Amino acid sequence: MRTVLALACAAVLGAILWSAAPVVWGRSPRAAAIYEPNPDHLWNRLHAKIFVRDDLPDTQRLPDALDPPLWYHTQYLLSNPSHKQAVRILDEFLQTHAENLTGDPLKRAILQRDLWAVFDWAVARHPEHVRDPAYEEERRELRTRLAEVLRRIALSPEELAALPDNYAQAVSSGEFGRNYDPAHRERAFLPPDLFEAQGPWVELEDPGNPEPVAFQHFSDHSARSSFLVFLRLPGGRKAAFDYLQALWSFPGPWVLSPADANHPQVVNPDVPQFPTGTEVALVRQLTLFDNQGRLVNSPITESLQIRVYREIRKSDHPPAGLDGAIAESGQDFYDIELSRPQLFAGKAGGLRALQPGEKDFTKFGAFGPDGGRPGQYLTLDNYSPVLKQCVFCHQGAGIHSLNSRVKLLKPHVLQKDRHSESLGPHWWQDARTLSWKQSHDDWAALTAYWKASGGSH
Ligand code: HEC
């Protein structure tokens, strides 16, 4: 699966670099003041060592990036000097029992999230070329220390149960619009009814399949997050299920594509179309583990991506440039993400909307800016703004830009409404995330360290 995704992402990366419009940046925030105001606080230094890379100076502009800037072939934290520096900070953390520097469960949960990502990366990371170093020893040195820090900062089941629903906090903060506003298309919005059990947003499911609908995101983050897909039709909940039924009942949803040897079967261009005004959302929610080593779905929303279809038309000419492709797509794109300092400060549930010109390195996929030789890495100027990148992977009119559409056609199972009586308060949380992770080798590696150290889990 990783290989398939990696190949797909290599193709997309070429496209992402298509436009490199210059962006005016404000003064970057103090690089390391994430957990505490003092940048020299050990938690800040540990965070900065991971997120602000000396060999990739533009990471200074993104000290609060959603994911650590570590990709498939990254050598940072493995080659020196960054490896020795990271080991030194982790040792300092362990020796000084820096887990006691804060009792705030939210801060511990977020540090767990980030260090867990580094641990998994240190399990799965691959050398770029056969002759490149595999850094076996360096990866092991990182993993041993990370596993112990992770063990020490894990929350108790009671602390986990008391973590806040930051999405609800963000909605009630009033910081965000509640609906798509065609008169202010630049304004991101946060639908208050997204998680309403019988509301207009319908969660797309893949019942009977051990893999969730958004499998590429899910596996790319190795189940440390759940990714949930929601669909909203202007006609409401019943209209959405009627549409899903029509889609599923469509005879011959797949057609042969002799032009593409890798995908001999493609979605029939004539499958039923959804109406203008349809919205789709991809919600990312954090997986954590408790101090007994048990995996849990947490209530923390890490990001919400929304696409709104303000126009659906088939085009018979190729779009001119990136802006042409965006206009042609008929969609408006939104991305709301977690900001750590905002979360800790209790501001709008820690969620903030990405601004139109905002840039980030590769957010999703195996290949980052640091392929090739050090010194030749890409800078942020090589990237298009995040909100302009959406169209690279979401082209096509209406339903044809919905990447999850393949899960809505035969031979998949028909999407059916669930009776609200059977739904718990967090009905969308997916136990498959936990069972998938449970059987994955990176989780086995982490739990093996805990067992070997004789720790409590
Ligand atoms: C590198 C490719 C890529 C980029 C760039 C990308 N997406 Fe996606 N997106 C996907 C894939 C693939 C899925 C299908 C779910 C899965 O398998 O993980 C998806 C799913 C979604 C969904 C759920 C509905 C659907 O289409 O299946 C939404 C909503 C979404 N993306 C919004 C966005 C927004 C907004 C942006 C830009 C900020 C964006 N995406 C950028 C690849 C991408």
pLDDT digits (tens, 9 = 90+) for 339-363: 999 999 999 999 999 999 999 998 8
Confidence of residue 457 (pLDDT cuts 50, 70, 90): low
Q: Is residue 419 over pLDDT 90?
A: no
pLDDT of residue 93: 98
Confidence of residue 8 (pLDDT cuts 50, 70, 90): very low
Among left, alpha and beta (phi > 0; psi -120 to 50; other), residue 353 is: beta
Q: Which residue has the higher pLDDT, 5 or 132?
A: 132
Residue 428: C-alpha distances to residues 113, 126, 225, 284, 355 (Å) = 21, 34, 13, 12, 28
Name the residue of 358, 390, 394, 432 to mutate for ligand 1: max ligand atoms within 8 A of Cβ. Answer: 394
Q: What is the pLDDT of residues 124-152, one digit of tens each?
A: 988 888 888 899 999 999 999 999 999 99
Please compute the mean of the pLDDT values over residues 355-382 and round it to a whole number: 89
Q: What is the pLDDT of residues 231-259, one digit of tens each?
A: 999 999 999 999 999 999 999 999 988 77
The rounded distance, in Å, linking the Cα atoms of 306 and 332 is 8
Task: Please tell me if the CB atom of residue 386 comes closer than 6 angstroms to any atom of ligand 1.
Answer: yes
User: Residue 286 is encoded by which pair of tokens?
Assistant: 């954090």
Residues in the chain: 457
Q: Model's pTM, two decimal places?
A: 0.93
Among left, alpha and beta (phi > 0; psi -120 to 50; other), residue 104 is: beta
Beta bridge partners of 157: none
Task: Please tell me if the CB atom of residue 307 comes closer than 6 angstroms to any atom of ligand 1.
Answer: yes
Task: Please tell me if the CB atom of residue 286 comes closer than 6 angstroms to any atom of ligand 1.
Answer: no
The rounded distance, in Å, linking the Cα atoms of 341 and 35 is 7
* CB environment 219-252: b (16+ within 10 A), e (fewer): bbbbbbbbbbbbbbbeeebebbbebbeebbeeee
* CA 376 to centroid of ligand 1, rounded, Å: 29
* Nearest to 234, CA basis, from 310, 334, 327: 310
Residue 289: DSSP 8-state: E
